[in-house]
Structure 1
Amino acid sequence: MDALFDLPEAGTPEQAVIAHYRLSDAQYHSPAERQAIYDAERAMTYAVEEAGVGEVDGNEFGGGEAVLYAYGADAEALFKVMEPTLRSLPFRPAHVVLGGESRETESRVDL
């Protein structure tokens, strides 16, 4: 098979862990805040890959917050691996949305 992308197997729903952190500046954020997010993202990428529970898919800055995205077959297992690093970031308020197959199966964890 000649595939351009690694797609999830049919019938394997992809779930999400999406972490939201309020930062100090609504427009630009400090370089130190950005660096802390980048460092946490690298640490979580390593941990998630080592555990084989999914992938960390990047970040987004804007509107005074930073958002980190991760995806895998089991949001709870993914969060368990990411949780120590997510909780270690100092930015508050912060929360994580664990996304299931539908909006009804989403849950929120305050950090």
Structure 2
Amino acid sequence: MQDALFDLPDLPPEHAVIARFQLGGDDLGEPDQWSMVFEAERSMGAAVKAAGLGEVDGNEFGGGEVVIFAYGPDADALYRVMEPGLRALPFRPAHVVLRYGEPADDVARKRIEL
């Protein structure tokens, strides 16, 4: 019996929504800020999942800021679902980068100030 090779459809490139918020306090922010970020992340994650648009993949605290990451096949649609939750977070300055494809220097990006 020979091994068969199958032509699998190409998966669409993974887009990203990357939101950055400046925090107060020390390098990692304050515990009440963490709570607000975690709650917003849970809410946005549920909305993104319900819409079938991808996933909110987590956060990263450090350097006096928090970054929230989300991935899916359509950065614009993903951002539309996440926008209310992102704008509700009070930390400023803040911005979102929509990345239209896999991470690379030449991939299209759009920056949105919050």
Q: Place the TM-score, normalised by the shorter chain, in its bin.
A: 0.7 to 0.9
Structure 1 residues without counterparts, runs of 5 or longer: 1-8
Structure 2 residues without counterparts, runs of 5 or longer: 1-8
1:4 maps to none
Q: How many residues matched? A: 103
- TM value normalised by structure 2: 0.86
Q: CA deviation at 1:52?
A: 0.5
1:47 maps to 47
Alignment of 1:19-98 (within 5 A): 19-98=19-98
CA-atom RMSD in angstroms: 1.3
Identity of aligned residues (%): 52
Q: How far apart, CA to CA, are the structure 1 residues paired with 2:10 and 2:54?
A: 16
- TM value normalised by structure 1: 0.88
Q: CA deviation at 1:11?
A: 3.2
Q: Does 1:110 align with 2:106?
A: no
1:18 maps to 18
Greater gyration radius: 2
Deviations 1:30-74 (A, max 9, x none): 110000000000000100001111100000000000000000000
Q: CA deviation at 1:28?
A: 3.2
Q: How far apart, CA to CA, are the structure 1 residues paired with 2:28 and 2:18?
A: 21
> Which letter maps to 2:44?
M
Q: CA deviation at 1:25?
A: 2.3
Q: How far apart, CA to CA, are the structure 1 residues paired with 2:64 and 2:21?
A: 9
